[in-house]
A and B are shown apart, each in its own frame.
Chain A
Amino acid sequence: MKIKENFIKENKKIRIISNGGNPSPINEDWRPVLSGCEMLVIIPDMHMYIYNHNNLDNFKYGAEAMLSFLDHLDTLKEEMDMEDKTLRIYQLGDLYELRFPGLNSANATATEIRLSHPNYDQIVNTMEGMQTRFLYGNHDFESRHFPRFKCAALEGKVYIEHGFRGDKWEAFSNPDAPLWEIGQLGFLAIRELNAKIAALAVDANIIKPDENFAFGVQSGENPIYDYPSEQDYLKEYGDTFKYYTERLQNIPDDEGIKICVIGHTHHPYINTDINDGKNIYIDAGAWTAGRSDFAVITNEEVGICCYKR
């Protein structure tokens, strides 16, 4: 199946952003790379937070677009079902932002977030209705307690994981690394301070009550559709890149993993020439802070796309 003909079709809101706007072909010797499905759509970090709460919610700007995108997927999935073909959808983790303050306790919970706005609930319900497979990330790490959320997945020759495992301990973003719990305590304290300063700024008419004011996070009000610099990716996320490419290199050939997909960095990136052409590395980007990226994989092509609001 082809990305442009069979996935995008007539939908003018979808655009391939990687490889100069064209799908990257998959090595013919690897085909088929998928098993059990003909098309794989991978939705990266969303960071849904309690709607408009504490001026820290920046998912809201992309929520309508997400519902529109899910409607496209729902229709496509049904059309493919009729042809006895399967569209499989993954959410790469960080579906929820549980690291920010909650309504009734220190941190937000999944239910508080989902029920904070009808659109948020509908997004999760639509995903579930399409049998989306959920992974957990570092911002919704608690989801690992529930059977529907997995750490990683293997779809044929495609390995899928959130992507936090390559982070060093000092980033406090890797739940497997030392001092994670202490780091989270500090992080939550910063966000509580953030919320208090935002409240003061609202009172002083510096920002509006519904304006995003999260330290270090882009508001998301303005959409970002570009494909950022590949050099910047290697510079800023070199550790992540190195960790996963080394893991790919160490996998024996007979295990057959050819493609690795992660998220976590919020920086879309694709490299089809990993380990001397043995592997493909994809960072699916993010659907938050203005971005609306996702990855599409068929047996013939891969690509990172964005969805216009």
Chain B
Amino acid sequence: MKRIEYISSVLVLLFVVLINGCTEYPAIQEPDMDRFNQTVHSPALRDSLLAGKLTTGMPYFVASQLFEDWTPSIMEIKIPVASLGSKQRLKETEGLGRDYDDPDIKVFLDEYETEKGKLHVWYQRPDFYTMDVSARDTLCIFLEDTVICSVIKYLTKSSMLTIKDSLPQVSQDTNIYAEVRYKNHPWRKSSYWYALKILNHGRTFKIKALNFEIYPIEILEFNGKSVSSFNWR
């Protein structure tokens, strides 16, 4: 009997090893450059994409396009989590086994198994508070070929800020692409805002309502270690 158990165990182990060894990963898809360039005007991010790097600050759709062909067995996407870096799923149960989660959760996690290891991508619905924007940081607006920078005077609320200078040349109908450059957070180089709208007096800006495809990636982790980028080429 013991011998049968031993043989069974060896067979199961062999099967598992074979399954793992034979796992084939689909080819990584190239992200849509045109869409990226229409969405993101930051030169640093454009350079990273051209170099084949997924970096923090890029919109979420880049990651979803890269791993478009991944099957559910090697990825788990859109997991609601409490905070950046947390892998704890947030789901509760009530009644006869019904699940529910907080509709207000703003942070999500994707997990992809790649050939070289596990990639975790955190992205979140941004606002000026969660991105640590404060007075005296700089808002840089990308208008066609020019970049206009102005110091942030104050934040009115989580989605609205007022800059020091008036920008009458920016029309209320313009789609504004901007990034924030921090003064007091050397550890965080810049924060990316793809869509703002300008309000009265040409000095107040509001974040346009985004959807998850445009949420910025906040943290990348590869094989358990925080990384600044993931090279796919």
Contacts and interface: CB of A to CB of B under 8 A. Distances in A.
A interacts with B: yes
A98 B211 contact: no
Given A125-B125, A148-B104, A105 B99 contact: yes
Interface stretch (A106-114, A218-226, A243-251, A255-263): A106-114
B212 A118 contact: yes
Nearest to A127: B209
A217 interface: no
A78 B98 contact: no
Contact of B99 (A74, A106, A129, A143): A106
Contacts of A149: 103
Nearest to A95: B103
Contact of B96 (A74, A142, A185): A185
B95 A118 contact: no
Contacts of A122: 209-211
B212 A115 contact: yes
Contacts of B95: 181, 184
Contact of A109 (B100, B200, B212): B100
A78 B159 contact: no
Given A106-B97, A107-B98, A181-B95, A143 B103 contact: yes
Contacts of B100: 98, 107, 109-110, 142-143, 145
Given A111-B105, A145-B92, A129 B209 contact: yes
Interface residues of B, number: 28
Contacts of B101: 109-111
Interface string B175-216: 000000000000000000000000110000011011111000
B145 interface: no
A118 B213 contact: yes
B71 to A, nearest CB: 15
Interface in A119-145: 119, 121-122, 124-126, 128-129, 142-143, 145
Interface centre among A114, A125, A145 (most CB of B within 10 A): A125
Interface centre among B95, B96, B103, B210 (most CB of A within 10 A): B103
Nearest to A175: B95
A113 to B, nearest CB: 9
A142 B105 CA distance: 15
Contacts of A115: 78, 108, 212
Contacts of B125: 125
Interface string B95-130: 111111111110010000000000000000100000
A111 B103 contact: yes
B98 A184 contact: yes
B102 A146 contact: yes
Contacts of B210: 122, 125
A204 interface: no
Contacts of B206: 129
A107 B210 CA distance: 26
Contacts of A114: 103
B47 interface: no
Contacts of A82: 200
B175 to A, nearest CB: 14
Interface centre among A98, A115, A185 (most CB of B within 10 A): A115
A70 B105 CA distance: 21
A166 interface: no
B171 to A, nearest CB: 15
A118 B102 CA distance: 18
The 5 closest A-B pairs by CB, nearest first: A142-B100, A110-B103, A118-B211, A126-B209, A122-B211
23 contacts: A95-B103, A96-B103, A98-B100, A105-B97, A106-B97, A106-B98, A106-B99, A107-B98, A109-B100, A110-B100, A110-B101, A110-B102, A111-B78, A112-B78, A118-B211, A121-B212, A125-B209, A129-B206, A129-B209, A145-B92, A145-B100, A149-B103, A181-B95
